[in-house]
Chains A and B, each alone.
Chain A
Amino acid sequence: MSTDYPNDLRYTKEHEWARPDESGGNKITIGITKFAVESLGDITQVDLPKEGEELKKDAVFGTVESVKAVSDLFAPCSGKVVKVNDPLGDSPEYINEDCYDEGWMVQVEVKDPKELDALMNAEQYQAYLKEQESH
């Protein structure tokens, strides 16, 4: 289970993940979780914000189209987009194949990296998934 939900990430109830800046800075990388990917099935298109756009925590920042349906992406934190994973435009299947590395979506610069502390850690997220399942 540990590689399904890496310990260094933070998770939202909407099944996005946020990776804290590895060098202790304020650049946060964002994507969707393995649970989200498995629920969606084959992803055929992603629409992401452009560099320079602002993300607002809990607001929609893009969409994912799978064969079956379209789903909104919700921002795990507020911040300015500094990098976008452009190859996803032509190869959205990277998200299915490797949602935590090659399938990352955007990187944002946050004012306060501590904002992530409010999100779930891997253990809490997996408990949350179990709880959802039993409903």
Chain B
Amino acid sequence: MKQTPLYGRHKALGAKIIDFGGWAMPVQYSGILDEHKSVREAAGIFDVSHMGEVWFRGPRAAEAVQKLVTNDVGKLVDGMAMYTCACRPSGGIVDDLIVYRSDAENILIVVNASNVDKDFGWFQEQAGAICEIINLSDETGLLAVQGPRAVELVQSIADQPVAELKSFRFRKAVIGGVMTNVARTGYTGEDGFELFAPAQAVGKVWDAVLDAGHKVGLKPIGLGARDTLRLEAKLSLYGNDIDEEHTPHEAGLSWVVKGKGFIGEEALARQKAEGLTRKLVGFVMKERGTARHGYPIVDDKGAAIGVVTSGSVGPTVGANIGLGYVPVALAQAGTRLQIDCRGKGAAAEVVNGAFYKRPS
């Protein structure tokens, strides 16, 4: 299994390590529920160094990126990031991504860990003739610091005014003696940052955040709580909720289909004109039962009409929640669904929007 530069630190902290797509990653330290609570109430630090970093370099970098992603890259200015998808010509989602524009000739795409090789191959095949495309995943460490106390915490150890950064903006700052890129992004539904640092130096950044974090109640957070946090915030997980068999429109991601001239544009336009047949919805369990990835969503007669893509307890919302694809006729808020939980039917209700929204 591959290890991130922080593997030894995770072991020393007593983390339980699992195989996550070929990576030896911490799934939990103190326990998923405890870690979840810490991020909602104070702050947490996550090692997400397994994620991939692919750089597009040269005068035509923006053109290359726009060919690959569904969102409008033209809206980016230096120091700005955006969420997007990359699609096949069919409209099926290759991956969901964040594009960071350092400047016109240096654009970074952060990709999911499980998709690094697939994405890099696809990017090179489709846009390698337009600009230089470099996979720096192994050379780059990535941390997330998230939670209501995260911004003041990171500001207290950064040499630049990072607390002023708006959502989806980034800038350079020295943290723990290391030059990092500090981005106001995350995957938890909380405020906070993601910190990019060279792989060989990311340990120093981790140590600096943990040291300073004790006074705000920061804890290290594993992939287990990362999953419950993102699910409450209704953020998609590639491989669970989105994949090449589903399009951004079906996944409720039409808001990132704003670009022109990208791969999959025609198929997505056609699908939009013809209308969708299925949609990804959020649901809350109304009866005893926990929906899990792959459980059928069934009609009155027990025939499968959809499928659960994610499901778990929502520790902060205080209910069992999930996501799944259903026929559009059943996608309205308030619709009753029946989930087949291992042979036992359990009622659920479709809800709009995120299960959890942070207090503003």
Partner of A70, one of B32, B224, B227, B292: B292
Which residue of B has the minimal Cβ distance to A68?
B224
Judging by beta carbons under 8 Å apart, are A42 and B342 in contact? no
Given contacts A67-B33, A67-B313, A68-B32, contact A45 B288 (CB under 8 A): yes
What count of chain A residues pass the 8 Å CB interface test?
12
Judging by beta carbons under 8 Å apart, are A67 and B312 in contact? yes
**Complex formed: what's the CA distance from A16 to B176 in Å?**
47
Judging by beta carbons under 8 Å apart, are B224 and A63 in contact? no
**Per-residue contact bits, chain B 13-50, to A (CB 8 Å; 1 contact, 0 not):** 00010000000000110011110000000000000000
B132 to chain A, nearest CB (A): 41
Of listed A42, A47, A70, residue having the most chain B CB within 10 A: A42
Judging by beta carbons under 8 Å apart, are A42 and B32 in contact? yes
Decide yes or no whether A44 CB sits under 8 A from chain B: yes
Given contacts A41-B28, A42-B33, A44-B313, contact A67 B224 (CB under 8 A): yes
Q: Which residues of chain A from 37 to 94 have any CB-CB distance to chain B below 8 Å in the complex? A: 41-42, 44-45, 47, 63, 65, 67-70
Judging by beta carbons under 8 Å apart, are A70 and B31 in contact? no
Judging by beta carbons under 8 Å apart, are A69 and B292 in contact? yes
Which residue of B has the minimal Cβ distance to A45?
B290
| Secondary structure of the B contact surface, majority rule | mixed
**Complex formed: what's the CA distance from A69 to B227 in Å?**
12
Which residue of A has the minimal Cβ distance to B32?
A67
Partner of A41, one of B224, B290, B292, B342: B224
**Complex formed: what's the CA distance from A68 to B225 in Å?**
9
Q: Return chain A residues, CB-CB under 8 Å to B313.
A: 44-45, 65, 67
Decide yes or no whether B228 CB sits under 8 A from chain A: yes
**Complex formed: what's the CA distance from A41 to B35 in Å?**
12
Q: Return chain A residues, CB-CB under 8 Å to B28.
A: 41
**Per-residue contact bits, chain B 77-105, to A (CB 8 Å; 1 contact, 0 not):** 00000000000000000000000000000
A72 to chain B, nearest CB (A): 9
Which residue of B has the minimal Cβ distance to A63?
B342
Q: Return chain B residues, CB-CB under 8 Å to A96.
A: 31
Q: Which residues of chain B from 264 to 313 have any CB-CB distance to chain A below 8 Å in the complex? A: 288, 290, 292, 312-313
Judging by beta carbons under 8 Å apart, are B288 and A41 in contact? no
**Complex formed: what's the CA distance from A45 to B292 in Å?**
14
**Complex formed: what's the CA distance from A69 to B312 in Å?**
8
**Complex formed: what's the CA distance from A70 to B341 in Å?**
10
**Complex formed: what's the CA distance from A107 to B339 in Å?**
31
**Complex formed: what's the CA distance from A113 to B261 in Å?**
74
B24 to chain A, nearest CB (A): 16
**Complex formed: what's the CA distance from A45 to B31 in Å?**
16
Judging by beta carbons under 8 Å apart, are B342 and A67 in contact? no
**Complex formed: what's the CA distance from A6 to B290 in Å?**
32
Q: Return chain A residues, CB-CB under 8 Å to B312.
A: 67-68
Judging by beta carbons under 8 Å apart, are B228 and A70 in contact? no
Judging by beta carbons under 8 Å apart, are A70 and B33 in contact? no
Q: Return chain B residues, CB-CB under 8 Å to A63.
A: 342
**Complex formed: what's the CA distance from A65 to B312 in Å?**
9
Q: Return chain A residues, CB-CB under 8 Å to B224.
A: 41, 67-68
**Complex formed: what's the CA distance from A68 to B313 in Å?**
9
B295 to chain A, nearest CB (A): 10
Judging by beta carbons under 8 Å apart, are A67 and B228 in contact? yes
Given contacts A41-B224, A44-B313, contact A65 B32 (CB under 8 A): no
**Complex formed: what's the CA distance from A47 to B342 in Å?**
12
B293 to chain A, nearest CB (A): 10
Those 8 A-B pairs whose CB atoms lie nearest each other, nearest first: A44-B313, A67-B32, A42-B33, A65-B290, A42-B32, A42-B31, A41-B32, A67-B313
Query: 8 pairs across A/B with beta carbons < 8 Å?
Result: A41-B27, A44-B313, A63-B342, A67-B224, A67-B312, A68-B27, A68-B227, A69-B292
Known: A41-B27, A67-B228, A70-B342. 14 other contacts (CB 8 A): A41-B31, A42-B33, A45-B290, A47-B288, A63-B342, A65-B290, A67-B33, A67-B224, A67-B312, A68-B27, A68-B32, A68-B224, A68-B227, A68-B312
